[in-house]
Chain A
């Protein structure tokens, strides 16, 4: 442990000789001149700029998961866009897709972004592609950038093998390119952070995938004081070692957290009952995990990790963007328990019964995992996420290959359906202002939620005596913050009282109206066995929840698959509700989170087909119900220690 601290600090000592590099980053020197009073009272002078703090908190939308050309895979997908480009795009700008067209977000700028390139071989592919470097002398350099796809694939497989084994290739043990790219990550974040308007976070991806089981994490730093090199899976594939590193950094004043993603492809190893060494989870493990991983990325372009039909057979909305194969592989996933977050939340309650502490008390975020230094987030503006691999409708399986006129002909020929990705999600953070400190504090509080892309607004509170609180008003929100616990928090028992949950949601101004708000409950019974149940809590179109099925009536919202037009008069712009758990048992540990569903809309694959003037791929869902998932609130019969 001490040895590692020394190594990490010594990197710093060495980089201190290069301190001039950062000093020259273009930070604007502030020239102060005395301002006369007459200037201050000028009537059309804009209000003083700078963060305006709202104690009732605003919601900010952003992405904590974007790759640029500094990622080894993105570079091979012909992505040449830099971290600077990623920030420009997130701020509403236009950049170039590797397939040669311009891309721009439909719904305006994001509020924050973290560029999270793979730590493994960070910046290395560009170095190999640069004549004259030591890197360019590796024997497979030519094949990597060959025009012969089979050569590219076999050269690329050297990297995949290395990632799966966790061993850094000896011929790429020189870290100078990585150091340079990491510096670029840090400096671009500094250049684009604009308190009050746009926040950047320094981050990277820890790409551990032992035997292709996905244990990837994004590491997000709270500030600018970051280590000289990221901790990669080549240091260790064991996430516990990553947490040790983060703990050590914290001791010397560098704060960061890790966010697991694509639990759905972890083959049951993301949320286990046991530690890496196979021993049961104990208090020390649980506390260390929570200290370093308070959040999980619930949905991104490689599918959602909330739950799936086999794990939640009574949840008719679980069959949404379910990933079928391991990452970078055609091998079907066969193990689901331990790979989905709802299941993890339940396991957490079970472990708490045994070990006295819940390692899976995790809040929700979402991201794109876009590898184009950008992501569309929207279905009707989709250009996929992997450079020249899926830049066209044909490549991504929404339009049949050239030799086939229709999907019918294609499947009649016995051809496979191929893999499919979603459009990617967004993280929402409730915070007082759009600054790094305020947003990071929101992440730490877990006052966050994830969406499947649309900027749906959701507030969620749990507490006692919430009757009459209207979350659509400032007074109501103020009362809720004083009397109740927001999403991500802990609620303890109040003798003789039953808790209530208040929620409100508003649609994305550029997307479809909302259909319903649901509460997902998980709890443990007296035998320590966990259960789950889905309750609709508020319905659009004046619907009332059936007390037996706990479901809203079908609101009849439809989609015209030839134009993607949606029912103009179905669904509500805003839905709110106050809910009491009809099965509440004051003595049981439980969690509650909200899932907000939009009316159905065309999936991106259907939009592609409509544009091409053909019928959509029948092996893909034609429509989806976009959604938001709030961080849970945990109820506990006793005081949480």
Chain B
């Protein structure tokens, strides 16, 4: 059972601002236009060379197809297998050229989005290659500290006394066991064994609630007892509890979450690179909108 969740701070807001721009249809259109323009030469000068009726599949591509097969099957393809793979590739190349020649790619939103996505990936990848310095990370941690707060956690051990087994005597017997524990008895043989864990490692309230129930977890988190106390009731039985460690909600030391901070820094860096790139592209265009009458007189947005 999962009992802990690590925060993923700052990411959602970053994603929201980054992706808002990219979802603007107008922006998509502009971006795709420029991509199509620059990709045109690549597509037409395609690496499978030749025009009209000739398709040459260069050695590099054949090697790549063979290598893909080797990666999947653990061995190099035979000549026959490779021929079949290359024939499939050639078929796709032919279909792709014919489709492009017919302009089938031009107004297909799926293809346009794909191109836009690839362009974004290129930008994000180049951003991802830059490594954060220690100062970068420290500054990032400072700025987003609140997102890294760890919830309060408790560790405890428990002895369960089962009313199912002991009936009305359960309360008295729990009290007797409590006295034994207070007197320093070894807890191991006491109580009724169950499928519940005898102890839990430091866990937040939600994690303890999943195993012992909400009211049990709330009681423990409200308790200031040292040593054994109880009984605390759960749907399973009466529990004598000793809290073995308490961690208040706290700001983790930077060293504890450095990996997480670094991952978040990278994500933000990617998002920033993307929005800067988008901004630069936008600056190169003037956008004129021919508003349909039905919208022209409506209230303007932000």
Q: Give the interface of A toward B (CB within 8 A).
A: 3, 6-7, 9-10, 12-14, 16-17, 20-21, 23-24, 26, 28-31, 33, 35, 39, 42, 44-47, 49, 58-61, 91-92, 107-109, 111, 127, 130-135, 176-177, 180, 197-198, 225, 251-254, 434, 457, 459, 470-473, 476, 504, 506-507, 509-510, 513, 540-541, 572-574
In contact, A253 and B107 (Cβ under 8 angstroms): no
Minimum distance in angstroms from B77 CB to a CB of chain A:
8
In contact, B104 and A30 (Cβ under 8 angstroms): no
In contact, B213 and A509 (Cβ under 8 angstroms): yes
In contact, A6 and B196 (Cβ under 8 angstroms): no
Expressed in whole angstroms, the Cα–Cα distance for A513 and B236 within the complex equals 9
Please, what's the 1-or-0 string for B97-132, where 1 marks a CB less than 8 Å from any CB in chain A? Answer: 000000010011111101001100110110010011
In contact, B74 and A10 (Cβ under 8 angstroms): no
From residue 152 to 196 of chain B, which have CB atoms closer than 8 A to chain A?
162, 164, 192-196
Minimum distance in angstroms from A495 CB to a CB of chain B:
34
- B236 contacts across to A, CB distance below 8 A: 506-507, 509, 573-574
- Of A3, A31, A135, A507, the contact of B259 (CB 8 Å cutoff): A31
Minimum distance in angstroms from B204 CB to a CB of chain A:
11
- A26 contacts across to B, CB distance below 8 A: 267, 270
- Of B2, B67, B121, B247, the contact of A20 (CB 8 Å cutoff): B121
- A31 contacts across to B, CB distance below 8 A: 131-132, 258-259, 262
- Of B74, B104, B256, the contact of A252 (CB 8 Å cutoff): B74
Main secondary structure of the interface of B (DSSP, over half): helix
> Are A29 and B194 CB-contacts (below 8 A) given A20-B121, A509-B213, A574-B162?
no
Expressed in whole angstroms, the Cα–Cα distance for A575 and B4 within the complex equals 29
- Of A111, A130, A573, the contact of B110 (CB 8 Å cutoff): A130
> Are A9 and B69 CB-contacts (below 8 A) given A132-B108, A472-B193, A572-B164?
yes
- A3 contacts across to B, CB distance below 8 A: 84
> Are A130 and B210 CB-contacts (below 8 A) given A6-B84, A573-B164?
no
- A24 contacts across to B, CB distance below 8 A: 121, 124-125, 128
- Chain B CB within 10 A, most for which of A109, A253, A470, A507: A109
From residue 17 to 64 of chain B, which have CB atoms closer than 8 A to chain A?
64
In contact, B2 and A127 (Cβ under 8 angstroms): no
> What 7 A-B pairs have minimum CB-CB distances, sorted nearest first?
A28-B263, A472-B193, A10-B88, A132-B109, A31-B262, A572-B164, A13-B68
In contact, A29 and B262 (Cβ under 8 angstroms): yes
Main secondary structure of the interface of A (DSSP, over half): loop
- Chain A CB within 10 A, most for which of B74, B109, B247: B109
- Flag whether B85 is at the interface (Cβ < 8 A): yes
> Are A42 and B108 CB-contacts (below 8 A) given A253-B73, A470-B193, A506-B194?
no
In contact, A109 and B195 (Cβ under 8 angstroms): no
In contact, A574 and B194 (Cβ under 8 angstroms): yes
Minimum distance in angstroms from A550 CB to a CB of chain B:
22
Expressed in whole angstroms, the Cα–Cα distance for A14 and B266 within the complex equals 30
- A434 contacts across to B, CB distance below 8 A: 2
- Of A14, A47, A107, A198, the contact of B92 (CB 8 Å cutoff): A14
> Are A509 and B234 CB-contacts (below 8 A) given A9-B85, A540-B164?
yes
- Flag whether B255 is at the interface (Cβ < 8 A): yes
In contact, B235 and A509 (Cβ under 8 angstroms): yes
In contact, B109 and A133 (Cβ under 8 angstroms): yes
- B196 contacts across to A, CB distance below 8 A: 506
In contact, A16 and B210 (Cβ under 8 angstroms): no
- Flag whether B89 is at the interface (Cβ < 8 A): yes
- Of A16, A42, A132, the contact of B253 (CB 8 Å cutoff): A42
Given contacts A13-B64, A29-B263, A49-B6, 12 further A-B contacts (CB under 8 A): A6-B84, A9-B85, A10-B85, A28-B260, A28-B262, A35-B255, A108-B209, A132-B109, A506-B196, A509-B213, A510-B235, A572-B164
Minimum distance in angstroms from A489 CB to a CB of chain B:
20
> Are A197 and B4 CB-contacts (below 8 A) given A10-B88, A26-B267, A30-B259?
yes
- B107 contacts across to A, CB distance below 8 A: 132
Expressed in whole angstroms, the Cα–Cα distance for A253 and B67 within the complex equals 15
- Flag whether B293 is at the interface (Cβ < 8 A): no
- B122 contacts across to A, CB distance below 8 A: 20
What is the chain B residue whose CB lies nearest that of A123?
B110
Can you offer 29 A-B residue contacts whose CB atoms are under 8 A?
A: A6-B84, A10-B65, A12-B69, A13-B68, A30-B259, A31-B131, A42-B253, A47-B202, A60-B1, A108-B206, A111-B1, A132-B107, A197-B2, A434-B2, A457-B195, A472-B192, A504-B195, A506-B194, A506-B236, A509-B213, A509-B234, A509-B235, A509-B236, A513-B235, A540-B164, A573-B164, A574-B162, A574-B195, A574-B236
In contact, A14 and B89 (Cβ under 8 angstroms): yes
Expressed in whole angstroms, the Cα–Cα distance for A14 and B212 within the complex equals 52
Minimum distance in angstroms from B71 CB to a CB of chain A:
8
In contact, B195 and A44 (Cβ under 8 angstroms): no
Minimum distance in angstroms from A223 CB to a CB of chain B:
13
- A513 contacts across to B, CB distance below 8 A: 164, 235
- B149 contacts across to A, CB distance below 8 A: none
- B206 contacts across to A, CB distance below 8 A: 92, 108
- Flag whether B231 is at the interface (Cβ < 8 A): no
Expressed in whole angstroms, the Cα–Cα distance for A634 and B112 within the complex equals 56
- B281 contacts across to A, CB distance below 8 A: none
What is the chain B residue whose CB lies nearest that of A26?
B267
- A6 contacts across to B, CB distance below 8 A: 81, 84-85, 88
> Are A131 and B109 CB-contacts (below 8 A) given A20-B118, A574-B236?
yes
- A14 contacts across to B, CB distance below 8 A: 88-89, 92
Expressed in whole angstroms, the Cα–Cα distance for A132 and B113 within the complex equals 11
In contact, A253 and B72 (Cβ under 8 angstroms): yes
- B109 contacts across to A, CB distance below 8 A: 130-133
- Chain B CB within 10 A, most for which of A6, A107, A225: A6
In contact, B128 and A9 (Cβ under 8 angstroms): no
What is the chain A residue whose CB lies nearest that of B2?
A197
- Flag whether B94 is at the interface (Cβ < 8 A): no
Minimum distance in angstroms from B126 CB to a CB of chain A:
11
